[in-house]
Chains A and B, each alone.
Chain A
């Protein structure tokens, strides 16, 4: 028999869970309603495919969609192997002081505000990229991706370390007992058993990379062209929203940014679902 206060606490948590889930749905509804004029006029598809040129009456967000994908996916391409490697180094390869020091460094990095990364990007990375490749201004897809890698990696590393640590010790000992090496133990026991955690860590980092505004706004250059190379200046959907938000509320520019919001929301949702499904599939396989 449950005590009354226990029930109350449980009820409170259930309500909180429903409320936050509802907020997410409500947010989408809100964007749909505000973006309604675009749907009504059937312009939502032309907006997804057109370039952005307000003085020509074009309010398309296609360059921003490409920019967002290029920057976030490239940064995940850098960050995932890097994070997995770091996590292995911290929890498997190195021992004692070194491991502790690395871990503390990574923990400290999670606490650094995004704007600091942005500043470091502007004053160190951008001039370096500009001079090294001798093309463009250095504010480009590559610079933003590299900085974003630095931003999302620490969280991912810690998440991976935790996942590795949750694999029961006895599994590992069994692997060693049948003559496996540390590397074999990691590859065949630890990694498969912590795979769901790795997937969740990846998903979280991807969400952060897609949603981050400041890094791209500060160092991707924000040009309204569709980036054709890694050294081209590009604008993400989030920076686009930030840049256009100051326009007045009745302008077509302002209305068009709801298309950005809707696209970003749907895209993030689908990507998360895809990654989760992929993760679950792998988990079954592991068993």
Chain B
């Protein structure tokens, strides 16, 4: 009885301390923990990982979490060889990798990327071939894909962008992106650029789409959250964290945290789609 009362008091106190009271509980798991956790791999994961790590370390300074990039391949390799505790990847590890290393996969977010145009543009659907030709600079006028007789202004993302990686792999099938394309530094800035430019075309994470830009159906499939979640929309991928064998201790707590309400809230804040 006493325990329950004190638990209620603790929760009440935490509710007062953190404005978002319901989240406080997720971090409680890290109380009294100590240790160093190394994370490496996919760059798309980094914003979420950094935010999660900052909150965990802010709550308990005895925990040290280091986060490195390297890409999905590096993440899988390093966790398999025991160099890091958690290896992030933007793809499922291959069967060979799973067998060889005994990996456990945890998909905690989905990243979908949609082509966007200015709302004034009438084009609302592009096939894979059309999209690839546009981004390669081979189609340079909107008239060729059913729009008005206007030039096409290309907008793409920087090399380190995970959004660019998904788009390039899944929508363009690793085809060329013209060197004339303007390079934009974030999903937000991409929306700004395309919403300003009536002849522009770009791509953003599905989570970022709002009324300032018009999403374009890809091969006839609308890039809606639901279609991405159902796996119908092809330009998407899961964000995975992999561990060697069953996760235990602090590693397990970090992965649990990513799946908690607060963790998934971070996922959404950083422009991904929650798995819940």
In the docked arrangement, what's the CA distance between A137 and B194, Å?
A: 10
- Given the complex, which residues of B lie within 8 Å of A127, measured CB to CB? 196-197
A21 CB–B CB distance under 8 Å: no
Question: At the interface, yes or no: A225 with Cβ under 8 Å from chain B?
Answer: yes
Rounded to whole Å, the gap between the CB of A231 and the closest CB of chain B is: 11
A247 interface neighbour in B74, B155, B160, B200, Cβ under 8 Å: B160
Q: Which of B3-11, B93-101, B179-187, B236-244 contacts A (4 or more CB under 8 A)?
A: B179-187
- Closest chain B CB from A239 CB (angstroms): 8
- Chain A residues whose C-beta falls within 8 Å of the C-beta of B182 in the assembled complex: 137, 139, 221-223, 233
Query: Are B71 and A248 within 8 A (Cβ)?
Result: yes
A245 to B181, CA, bound (A): 20
A223 and B69 contacting across the interface, CB-CB below 8 Å: no
The answer on a CB contact under 8 Å between B185 and A130 is: no
- Contact status A223-B180, CB under 8 Å: yes
Q: Which residues of B contact A60 (CB under 8 A)?
A: none
User: B192 at the A/B interface (Cβ < 8 Å)?
Assistant: yes
Q: How far is the CB of A261 from chain B (nearest CB, A)?
A: 17
Which residues of the partner chain A approach B151 to less than 8 Å between Cβ atoms? 135-136
Residues of A within 8 A of B160 (CB): 243-247
**Inter-subunit contact B158/A243 (CB<8 Å):** yes
Give residues 120-143 of A contacting B (CB, 8 Å). 122-123, 126-127, 130, 135-139
**Do B69 and A222 touch (CB < 8 A)?**
no
Does any Cβ of A come within 8 Å of B159's Cβ? Answer: yes
Check A250 against B196 for contact (C-beta < 8 Å).
no
Contact B180 A244 (CB under 8 A): no
* A135 to B158 Cα, complex, angstroms: 23
> Closest B-chain residue to A56, C-beta based?
B176
Residue in B69, B71, B174, B180 whose beta carbon sits within 8 Å of that of A232 in the complex:
B180
In the complex, the answer to whether A122 meets B192 with C-beta atoms within 8 Å is: yes
| In the assembled complex, B70 has its CB within 8 A of some CB on chain A | yes
**Given contacts A224-B179, A246-B43, are A138 and B159 in contact (CB under 8 A)?**
no
Contacts A122-B192, A248-B43 known; A243 to B180 CB distance under 8 Å?
no
- Can you report 17 residue pairs joining A to B where beta carbons are below 8 Å apart? A51-B179, A55-B174, A63-B179, A126-B196, A137-B155, A137-B199, A222-B158, A222-B184, A223-B182, A233-B182, A243-B158, A243-B183, A243-B185, A244-B159, A244-B160, A249-B68, A250-B70
- With A137-B200, A223-B180, A246-B43 known, 17 other A-B pairs at CB within 8 A are A123-B196, A126-B196, A127-B196, A137-B153, A137-B182, A137-B193, A221-B183, A222-B183, A223-B181, A224-B179, A235-B183, A243-B158, A243-B159, A243-B183, A244-B159, A244-B160, A246-B69
A-B complex: 10 closest residue pairs judged by Cβ atoms:
A248-B69, A222-B183, A246-B160, A137-B153, A221-B182, A225-B179, A243-B158, A247-B160, A248-B70, A233-B182
